[in-house]
């Protein structure tokens, strides 16, 4: 990077839903990154993916790790940090002439595009049932509370407490933005960096992104990516995978645990999965990989958060995903990720009960294939 170049680090906090990303989306992001580079702005993008886009303490730590690593690595200049808190659903927007306020939005009830974590408490209850019926040492609700306290540092119950449902998609992203804002403001190491936070809802059917934060911080890199996505998909036929697969019910081929700094990890995972299963390599489309991504997935001593565990359970039980790719930047990192997974009591119970296979791979090796 030239010394005169400005630098922006954009961090997406998004859902694990397989329809979030496809080939056109990745290309659109690349187009906008190049446009920014032509204007002298270097853009770096990270993604933290957790079902329901809940801002939990483990996610805040992931975010802090990305920002601190950037601060340590920079040699000069000021870095602009922008975090995008994004959920998804089918949204109808009333007529308006100004910025889109929440009062003009309506969520289409029961839509296949709505986030599955509207029913997160139900998923939590299913997990409790699994623990009570299949875990040898868990024979009561008090035993579950003890597990959560001793292993995950949570004092309370699993369903409805540790894992809660989204109340309303229209307010959820804005609420989580507020949770994150308060967490960053309490951290003296982050407060001085002026981290900006946006909040929005992605609508798969319309290829749209609706800001729900009053357009605070103006139009950002992430908003421009959606403008470019709509331009790209508008030129595609209705049966193109980037249109058809993005707008059907979620039915991915595999699950993915990935480090948050691996660019296009879903595309790499899809290519590896196709090659491993003897399928022809095809252009990467949406609805292929259900992805969980974090910055501390390679730290065995740090427990997984509630929505990562709920997402893994949901993917296995409700999306019938028995093949899970564990992707690190290199082989050593992938091995640490695998060690963390098999060392987690809830993950291991789900894996054993439902015959799940973990496949550790290195992103740098997949790129060379």
Percent of the chain with pLDDT over 70: 96
pLDDT at residue 3, as a whole number: 47
pLDDT at residue 369, as a whole number: 60
Full-model pTM = 0.89
Q: Is the dihedral of CA 83, 152, 129, 289 positive or negative?
A: positive
Q: Are 42 and 79 in contact (CB under 8 A)?
A: no
Residue 99 has pLDDT above 60, yes or no: no
DSSP-derived pairing of the beta strands 105-107 and 41-49: unpaired
Q: Tell me: the pLDDT tens digits for 153-164? A: 999 999 999 999
Domains of the chain (ranges plus CATH)?
Answer: 1-114+167-243 (3.40.1050), 116-165 (no CATH), 251-369 (3.40.50)
Q: Tell me: the pLDDT tens digits for 282-330? A: 667 789 999 999 989 999 999 999 999 999 999 999 999 999 999 999 9
Dump strand ranges (E) for 170-223: 196-203, 208-211
Q: Tell me: the pLDDT tens digits for 264-283? A: 899 899 999 988 888 876 66
Q: Are 117 and 51 in contact (CB under 8 A)?
A: yes
């Amino acid at each position: 990077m030239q010394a005169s170049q400005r630098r922006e680090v954009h961090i997406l906090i998004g859902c694990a839903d397989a329809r979030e990303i496809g080939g056109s989306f990745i290309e659109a992001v690349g187009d906008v990154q190049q446009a920014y580079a032509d204007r002298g702005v270097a853009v770096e993008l990270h993604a933290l993916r957790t079902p329901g886009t809940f801002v939990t303490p483990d996610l805040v730590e992931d975010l802090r790790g990305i920002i601190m690593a950037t601060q340590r690595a920079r040699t000069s200049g000021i870095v602009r940090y922008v975090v995008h808190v994004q959920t998804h659903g089918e949204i109808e927007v009333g007529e308006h002439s100004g910025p889109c306020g929440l009062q003009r939005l309506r969520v289409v009830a029961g839509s296949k595009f709505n986030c599955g974590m509207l029913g997160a408490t139900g998923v939590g209850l299913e997990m409790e049932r699994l623990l009570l019926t299949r875990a040898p040492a868990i024979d009561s609700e008090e035993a579950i509370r003890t597990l959560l306290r001793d292993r995950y540092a949570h004092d309370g119950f699993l369903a409805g407490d540790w894992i809660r449902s989204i109340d309303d998609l229209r307010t959820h992203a804005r609420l989580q933005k507020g949770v994150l804002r308060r967490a960053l403001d309490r951290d003296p190491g982050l407060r001085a960096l002026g981290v900006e936070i946006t909040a929005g809802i992605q609508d798969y059917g319309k290829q749209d992104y609706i800001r729900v934060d009053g357009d605070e911080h103006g139009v950002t890199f992430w908003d421009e990516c959606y403008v470019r996505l709509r331009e790209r998909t508008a030129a595609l036929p209705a049966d193109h995978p980037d249109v058809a697969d993005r707008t059907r019910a979620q039915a991915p081929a595999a699950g993915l645990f990935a480090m948050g700094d691996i660019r296009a990890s879903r595309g790499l995972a899809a290519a590896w999965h196709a090659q491993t299963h003897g399928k022809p390599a095809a252009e990467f489309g949406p609805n292929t990989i259900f992805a969980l991504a974090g910055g501390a997935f390679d730290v065995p001593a740090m427990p997984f958060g509630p929505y990562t565990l709920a997402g893994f359970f949901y993917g296995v039980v409700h999306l019938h995903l028995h093949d899970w790719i564990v992707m690190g930047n290199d082989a050593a990192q992938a091995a640490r990720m695998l060690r963390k997974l098999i060392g987690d009591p809830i993950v291991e119970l789900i894996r054993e009960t439902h015959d799940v296979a973990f496949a550790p791979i290195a992103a740098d090796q997949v790129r060379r294939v």
